[in-house]
Amino acid sequence: MSHIDLNLIRCFVTLYETGSVTETAERLHITQPSASYALSRLREQFDHPLFVRTRGGMRPTELATQLYATFQDALGRIDKAVDDVRQFEPAHSEQRFCLSLTDLGELAFLPRILERVHAIAPNVQLDVIPLEIDKVGDWLATGKIDAAICSMPFPGKTRSDVLLHQRYVCLLRRDHSRIGDSLDLEQYMAEQHAEVASSNGHRLPENVLQELGIQRKIRLRLRHVSVLPQVLIRSDLLVILPSQIAEMFVAGGQLKMFELPFPVPPFTVRLHRQERTGDSTAQRWFHETIVEALRAE
């Protein structure tokens, strides 16, 4: 086997990363039969099955795992060499980028990112995937997403840029029946609370409460925050939120916020991306544009 089609190598790497022929076809913008045919040719050339079909997807064999690292590195170097000659032109590009955000991130950051991206590159596509803390590290490593915005660190060879510093506050309705112009710990403990799911990446306040031995009366748990203003306006529930989101909700005039009556450290929001052999000009542009959009005040 002295020659192998570069497209077959790209298909191999993508299939290894996705574990799915269907997703491989989607990512490479080819039909599923074409992806299946490419896998068949690879098997013929290596005289080896390479991948075994299981309930969880296409599982790579030991040989496939050995080949993957070499093929991935080679593709990265080839792509970078081509990119160094053919520079990315945002104004004319129709490239697709994929960004992972929490529900909170969509509210706070997406409008500004979209405005900045489309002002420079009006024809690029932006796909937003809901961030899942336990999966996003793998998503970055396999190339399913180009970047993620979160306050949590991820394992693996990831790089990050600081976007902003935040603190946590307590949000409640302006005409709360028992809480007026201040909030102390005794009042806080006496009230009922709403809680946003930790899958949004904001576990720190709950960790602090556990360390302090404080147990709240949770009456509502939500996975999404967009409905919170309407919920709080019509109840006496309290909720902990990042200050930037709370300020957005307070601007509506029917809610108020207080500093938490117990110490919670501030946190840093970061843009995470996979550290590769050489990021393309397009990838660098995408990352830099997000940083510029969210640091500009």
157 and 277 both lie in a single domain: yes
| Beta strands at 267-274 and 147-150: parallel, antiparallel or unpaired | antiparallel
DSSP state of 238: B
pLDDT block averages, 10 residues each, the chain of length 297: 76 90 88 90 91 91 90 78 68 90 90 94 92 82 86 72 93 96 95 82 83 92 89 96 94 95 92 70 90 82
- pLDDT (0 to 100) of residue 283: 86
Judge whether 1 lies within some domain: no
132 and 272 both lie in a single domain: yes
Judge whether 274 lies within some domain: yes
261 and 274 both lie in a single domain: no
Domain finish residue from 50, 85, 120 = 85
32-42: string of b/e by CB count within 10 Å (b at 16+)? eebbeebbeeb
CATH number at residue 154: 3.40.190.10
Judge whether 142 lies within some domain: yes
Range of the domain at 26: 6-85
191 and 63 both lie in a single domain: no
138 and 186 both lie in a single domain: no
CATH number at residue 24: 1.10.10.10
The sign of the dihedral angle between the CA atoms of 282, 286, 287, 291 is: positive
- pLDDT (0 to 100) of residue 131: 87
281-285 own/partner pairs: CB under 8 Å, 24+ apart: 281/83, 281/87, 281/88, 282/83, 282/88, 282/93, 282/95, 282/97, 283/146, 285/88, 285/90, 285/121
- pLDDT (0 to 100) of residue 194: 95
- pLDDT (0 to 100) of residue 1: 47
291 and 223 both lie in a single domain: no
- pLDDT (0 to 100) of residue 170: 97
Domain count, the chain: 3
Judge whether 14 lies within some domain: yes
Q: How far apart are CA 171 and CA 250, in angstroms?
A: 8
Task: Judge if pTM exceeds 0.75.
Answer: no
100 and 179 both lie in a single domain: no
79 and 95 both lie in a single domain: no
280 and 139 both lie in a single domain: yes
179 and 248 both lie in a single domain: yes
Residue pointed to by tokens 């660098």:
284
172 and 249 both lie in a single domain: yes
106 and 177 both lie in a single domain: no
Q: What stretches of 15-124 adopt beta strand conformation (E)? A: 51-54, 57-60, 96-101
